[in-house]
C-alpha cells in the first residue's frame, strides 16, 4: 500500500505533464489508490481513492460540471478578470501573435521557430543597398550636418530622386516596394553613418500617411498621394502626440467638428479642425500632415453618434490656420522635428483617410498599422548604432596601447567589449527575425514592442560601454568622434514610438497576457457575453494548462531543461532546453499573478515590468538561436551565441525571481518557488572564460568581427574617424608579430627593456628584426599617433559651434 501512496503524486504529475488535462491526472491518482485498496484491503486507500474518482467524474464530465460547478465559478472569476475599455479592446484586437504565443504557453513548439524561413533580399534590394544607399553615405558628413542643423540640400534632393521616402510604397504607385527586411537593412546602414539622415529616411516609411493610405485609403487617395510621396513631392509627417496626450494618445484634445463650410469656392460638408501637436518628426518641412484627432458631430449631420471617436485625416500643410515650421532640438540631433498647430482649419470630409465612412476608426487604424513601423525603424537604427560602436571600439582596443599592450588585452576592457559584441549579435538577430515576421504577413504587436524597447535600451548599454573604453577620446566633440552623435541620440530612440517605460510595464505584458495566453482572452469574452459554455471550456482549459505547466516547470527545473524533447540537435540544444525551462516557469508565474491580482495586475507595473523582461529576454534569446541555427552553427559565432544566451537566460530568470520576491500574495509565492526553482536559481550569466572568449574572437578573428558588423557603411581609409581607424588596425595587426619578437628578445635577455623606438632600433642593430619589420613598426606607430588624436578648436571657432 505504501507503494501506491508513493505512486499517486507521480501519476498525478505525469498526467498533468503529458496528458495536458487535469481530468486524466485525477483519474490516474484515483485509479492507483483504488488499485492499492484492492491489493491490500486498506480502508485509508479506499477513503482517499473514492474522492479522487468522484472528483474525476464531476470535473471530467462537462455536462455535470456546467450544471453544478461552472455557474458558481463564473461570477466569482468575473470579478477577478480585467475590464476592457474600448481603446484597450481595439489595441488587443490589432495585430497578430506568433512566436510570442509559444513562449507564453510554457511549452513552446520549437519547430514553429526553426522551420520558419527568413526570405533573402532580392537582387534589386541588394543593388539599392550597394548603390544609392552607399552613395548617400558617401555624401554625408555627420559632423557638418550637426553643425549646419540640417541635411544639405543635395542630400534632400538625392533622397527624393532615389525614392528613399517610398520604400514601403508598391512599385505600381511609383515606390520601391521593398520587403520589411530590406527596409530594415537600409535604415541600419544609413544610421551607421548619420542618425539625422536615418531618421529622415525612415519616418515616411514608418507609421504615417503612406502606411495608412496603403491599408485604408480610398482608390482616389492612393492614386493621388502615393506617387507624390514616393517621389518626395510631398514630405509627410504624422501628428499624433500633443501636450495633453503623449503615451495616452487616445486622450487627445485635438478636435474636429462636423459642419458645412466653403472649400476652394464651393460649399461642402466637412470638418473644422483645431489641434496642438508637438515632437512631430518632419513637421517643420512637411507639405502633408497626417492628423489624429477626435471627431465630433454635435448636429448629427452624419446621422450617428455625436462623438465619433479618433479619426485620421490628410491635411495639406499650406491651408489657412496652420502654423508649422518651428523646430524642437532633440538632444542636438538635427533631424527635422517640431510642433504644429491648427486653428479653425476647414477641410472636406473626404480628407479623412478612407473617406467619410472611416470617421471614428482612427484608433483602430493606428493600432493595426503600428506594429510594422515599430518592428523596423528604431530597432534597425539601434542595430546600426551598435554595430558602428562595436566596430570602432574593437579596432580602437587593438590600436590603442598602454603599458606596451593593446588595451583590448586587459580584462577590464574585455568585459565591456564582450558585452558590446554579445549584445550586438543578439540585437541583429532580433532585428532580422522581427522584420522577417512582418514579411511573412504577421503584424507582431507584442514582438515589435519587445524589439523596440529592448533594442533601444541595448543600444544605450553598448554606447555607454563604448564611451567607457574610448575614455577621454569619447567625450571630445568633433569630426573625429563618430560615436558622439549616436550617444546623444540614445534617449530619443528610448522615448519615441511609445516610451520604453510605458511599453515595458503596460504593453508588452499587458497585451501579451491577454493576446498570447491560450485562454485569458476567451475567458474575458465569455464573461462579457454571459456565455456559460464558452467560459467553462476556457476556464477549465486554463486550469489544466496551469496544472500542466506546474508539473512541466518542476520536471524541467529538476533536470535543468534536459527533459525538453523538442530541442534540435547540435550546439544550440542545451540553450533551447534551458529556454524551455524558463518558458514553463514564466507561464506558471504569470498565471499565478493573474489569479492572485486579477484586474489589479495591470496597475502593478513593477510586477508586469518584470514579467515583460522575462518574455522579452526569452524572445531575444530565441532570435539569437534562430540566427545561429540558420547559419549552420558556425564556429566563429559560438562564443557570441554563448554570451548572448547566457546573458538573456540570466536576465529572464532574474526577472522571474523578482516577481516571486515581490508578489503580494506571499503564500502563492512560497508555493511557486520550489516548483519553478526546485534547485535554486540556475542561470548566472556569462562566466569570465566566456567573456574572454568573446573578446578574443572579436579582436583576433577578422571573420567574426566582419560578420558581426556587416551591413554598415565603412568609410574610405583616409577619412577621419572610422576610416583611419580601420587603416590603423590593419597596420597594427601587421606589426603584431614584430612586437612579439621584441617582447621575446627582452624576456630572453637578448635585449634590454627600453621605450618603443629605442627598443626597435636596438633590435634592428642586434639582428632581431629586419629593416622591413622596423618599417612595419613605424607605420603602425604613425597610424596609432594619428587615430588617438582628438579635436581641438580655436577660441573663435569654438564659440561658433552648434551645441
Residue with cell string 571630445? 476
Instruction: Read off φ and ψ for residue 705, nearest 5 degrees.
Output: -65, -40
**What's the CA gap between 424 and 430, in Å, rounded?**
10
User: In this structure, are residues 659 and 593 in contact, taking their beta carbons and an 8 Å threshold?
Assistant: yes
Which stretches does DSSP call E strand in 264-350?
Answer: 266-281, 288-296, 307-316, 322-324, 337-348
Q: How far apart are CA 679 and CA 554, in angstroms?
A: 10
HSE-CB of 651 using CA atoms within 13 angstroms = 20
Site of grid cell 540585437: 427
Cα–Cα distance, 360 to 344 (Å, whole number): 20
DSSP assignments along 651-686, one per residue:
HHHHHHHHHHHH-S-HHHHHHHHHHH-TT-------
Active site residue 497: yes
Query: Per the structure block, which three cell numbers stand in for 128?
Result: 539599392
The span from the CA of 309 to the CA of 359, in Å, is: 8
3-state secondary structure at position 634? coil
**Total Cβ atoms within 10 A of residue 439:** 17
Pair 723, 716: CB distance under 8 Å:
yes
| Rounded-to-integer distance, Cα 60 and Cα 78, Å | 22
- 8 A C-beta contact, residue 494 and residue 500: yes
Contact by Cβ (8 Å): 377, 188: no
Question: Is 423:643 a contact under the CB 8 Å cutoff?
Answer: no
Q: What's the distance, CA 472 to chain centroid?
A: 31
**555: helix, strand or coil:** helix
- Alpha carbon of 640 to those of 179, 338, 574, 595: distances in Å? 28, 41, 15, 39
Three-state SS string over 144-160 comes to HHHHHCCCCHHHHHHHH
Cβ neighbours around 796 below 10 Å, total:
7
Helices 638-662 & 666-676, crossing angle to 10 degrees? 150
Cα–Cα dist 342/320, whole Å: 9
CB 56 within 8 A of CB 27: yes
Angle between helix axes 411-439 and 688-700 (nearest 10 degrees) is 80
In the block, residue with C-alpha cell 527635422: 336
Catalytic residue among 497, 523, 564, 683: 497
Residue with cell 559584441: 421
Please report how many Cα atoms fall inside a 13 Å half-sphere around the Cα of residue 216, on the Cβ side: 29
Q: Are 695 and 410 in contact (CB under 8 A)?
A: no
Return the residue matching grid coordinates 529538476. Answer: 558
Residue among 187, 200, 504, 506 nearest 330 (CA): 200
Which residues are the active-site residues? 497
Amino acid at each position: 500500500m505504501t507503494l501506491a501512496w508513493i505512486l499517486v503524486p507521480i501519476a498525478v504529475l505525469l498526467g498533468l505533464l503529458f496528458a495536458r488535462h487535469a481530468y486524466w491526472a485525477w483519474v490516474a491518482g484515483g485509479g492507483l489508490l483504488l488499485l492499492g485498496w484492492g491489493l491490500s484491503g486498506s480502508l485509508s486507500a479506499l477513503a482517499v481513492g473514492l474522492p479522487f474518482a468522484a472528483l474525476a467524474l464531476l470535473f471530467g464530465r462537462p455536462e455535470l460540471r456546467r450544471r453544478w460547478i461552472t455557474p458558481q465559478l463564473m461570477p466569482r472569476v468575473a470579478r477577478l478578470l480585467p475590464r476592457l475599455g474600448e481603446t484597450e479592446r481595439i489595441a488587443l484586437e490589432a495585430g497578430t501573435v506568433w512566436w510570442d504565443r509559444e513562449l507564453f504557453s510554457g511549452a513552446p513548439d520549437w519547430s514553429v521557430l526553426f522551420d520558419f524561413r527568413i526570405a533573402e533580399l532580392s537582387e534589386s534590394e541588394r543593388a539599392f543597398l550597394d548603390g544609392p544607399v552607399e552613395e548617400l553615405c558617401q555624401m554625408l558628413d555627420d559632423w557638418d550636418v550637426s553643425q549646419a542643423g540640417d541635411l544639405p540640400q543635395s542630400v534632400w534632393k538625392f533622397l527624393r530622386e532615389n525614392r528613399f521616402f517610398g520604400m514601403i510604397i508598391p512599385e505600381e504607385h511609383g515606390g520601391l516596394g521593398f520587403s520589411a527586411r530590406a527596409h530594415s537593412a537600409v535604415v541600419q546602414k544609413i544610421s551607421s553613418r548619420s542618425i539625422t539622415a536615418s531618421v529622415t529616411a525612415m519616418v515616411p516609411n514608418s507609421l504615417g500617411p503612406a502606411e495608412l493610405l496603403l491599408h485604408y485609403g480610398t482608390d482616389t487617395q492612393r492614386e493621388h498621394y502615393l506617387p507624390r510621396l514616393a517621389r518626395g513631392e510631398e514630405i509627410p509627417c504624422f501628428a499624433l502626440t500633443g501636450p495633453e496626450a503623449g503615451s495616452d494618445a487616445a486622450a487627445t484634445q485635438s478636435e474636429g467638428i462636423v459642419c458645412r463650410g466653403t472649400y476652394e469656392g464651393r460649399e461642402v460638408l466637412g470638418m473644422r479642425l483645431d489641434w496642438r501637436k508637438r515632437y512631430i518628426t518632419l513637421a517643420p518641412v512637411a507639405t502633408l500632415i497626417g492628423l489624429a484627432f477626435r471627431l465630433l458631430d454635435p448636429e448629427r449631420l452624419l446621422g450617428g453618434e455625436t462623438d465619433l471617436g479618433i479619426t485620421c485625416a490628410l491635411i495639406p500643410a499650406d491651408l489657412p490656420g496652420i502654423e508649422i515650421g518651428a523646430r524642437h532640438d532633440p538632444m542636438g540631433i538635427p533631424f527635422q522635428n517640431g510642433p504644429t498647430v491648427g486653428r479653425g482649419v476647414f477641410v472636406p470630409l473626404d480628407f479623412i483617410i478612407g473617406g467619410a465612412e472611416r470617421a471614428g476608426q482612427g484608433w483602430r487604424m493606428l493600432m493595426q498599422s503600428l506594429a510594422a513601423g515599430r518592428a523596423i525603424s528604431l530597432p534597425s537604427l539601434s542595430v546600426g548604432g551598435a554595430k558602428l560602436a562595436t566596430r570602432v571600439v574593437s579596432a580602437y582596443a587593438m590600436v590603442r596601447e598602454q603599458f606596451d599592450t593593446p588595451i583590448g588585452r586587459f580584462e577590464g576592457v574585455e568585459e565591456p567589449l564582450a558585452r558590446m559584441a554579445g549584445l550586438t549579435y543578439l540585437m541583429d538577430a532580433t532585428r532580422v527575425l522581427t522584420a522577417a515576421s512582418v514579411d511573412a504577413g504577421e503584424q507582431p504587436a507584442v514582438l515589435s514592442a519587445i524589439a523596440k524597447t529592448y533594442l533601444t535600451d541595448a543600444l544605450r548599454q553598448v554606447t555607454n560601454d563604448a564611451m567607457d573604453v574610448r575614455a577621454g577620446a569619447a567625450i571630445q566633440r568633433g569630426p573625429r568622434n563618430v560615436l558622439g552623435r549616436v550617444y546623444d541620440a540614445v534617449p530619443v530612440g528610448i522615448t519615441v514610438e511609445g516610451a520604453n517605460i510605458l511599453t515595458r510595464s503596460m504593453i508588452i505584458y499587458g497585451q501579451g497576457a491577454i493576446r498570447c495566453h491560450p485562454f485569458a482572452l476567451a475567458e474575458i469574452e465569455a464573461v462579457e457575453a454571459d456565455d456559460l459554455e464558452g467560459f467553462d471550456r476556457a476556464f477549465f482549459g486554463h486550469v489544466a494548462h496551469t496544472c500542466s505547466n506546474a508539473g512541466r516547470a518542476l520536471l524541467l527545473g529538476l533536470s535543468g531543461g534536459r527533459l525538453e524533447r523538442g530541442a534540435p540537435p547540435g550546439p544550440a540544444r542545451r540553450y533551447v532546453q534551458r529556454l524551455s525551462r524558463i518558458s514553463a516557469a514564466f507561464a506558471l508565474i504569470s498565471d499565478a499573478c493573474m489569479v492572485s491580482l486579477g484586474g489589479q495586475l495591470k496597475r502593478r507595473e513593477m510586477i508586469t515590468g518584470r514579467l515583460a523582461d522575462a518574455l522579452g529576454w526569452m524572445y531575444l534569446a530565441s532570435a539569437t538561436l534562430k540566427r545561429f541555427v540558420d547559419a549552420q552553427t558556425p564556429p566563429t559565432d559560438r562564443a557570441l551565441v554563448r554570451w548572448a544566451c547566457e546573458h538573456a537566460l540570466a536576465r529572464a530568470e532574474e526577472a522571474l525571481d523578482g516577481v516571486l520576491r515581490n508578489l503580494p500574495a506571499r503564500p502563492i509565492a512560497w508555493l511557486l518557488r520550489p516548483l519553478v526553482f526546485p534547485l535554486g536559481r540556475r542561470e548566472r550569466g556569462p562566466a569570465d572564460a566566456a567573456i574572454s572568449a568573446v573578446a578574443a574572437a572579436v579582436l583576433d578573428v577578422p571573420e567574426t568581427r566582419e560578420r558581426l558588423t556587416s551591413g554598415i557603411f565603412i568609410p574610405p581609409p583616409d577619412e577621419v574617424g572610422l576610416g583611419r581607424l580601420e587603416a590603423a588596425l590593419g597596420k597594427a595587426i601587421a606589426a603584431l608579430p614584430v612586437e612579439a619578437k621584441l617582447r621575446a628578445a627582452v624576456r630572453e635577455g637578448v635585449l634590454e627593456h627600453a621605450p618603443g623606438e629605442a627598443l626597435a632600433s636596438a633590435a634592428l642593430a642586434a639582428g632581431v628584426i629586419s629593416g622591413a619589420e622596423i618599417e612595419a613598426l613605424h607605420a603602425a606607430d604613425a597610424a596609432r599617433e594619428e587615430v588617438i588624436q582628438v579635436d581641438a578648436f580655436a577660441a573663435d571657432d569654438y564659440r561658433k559651434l552648434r551645441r
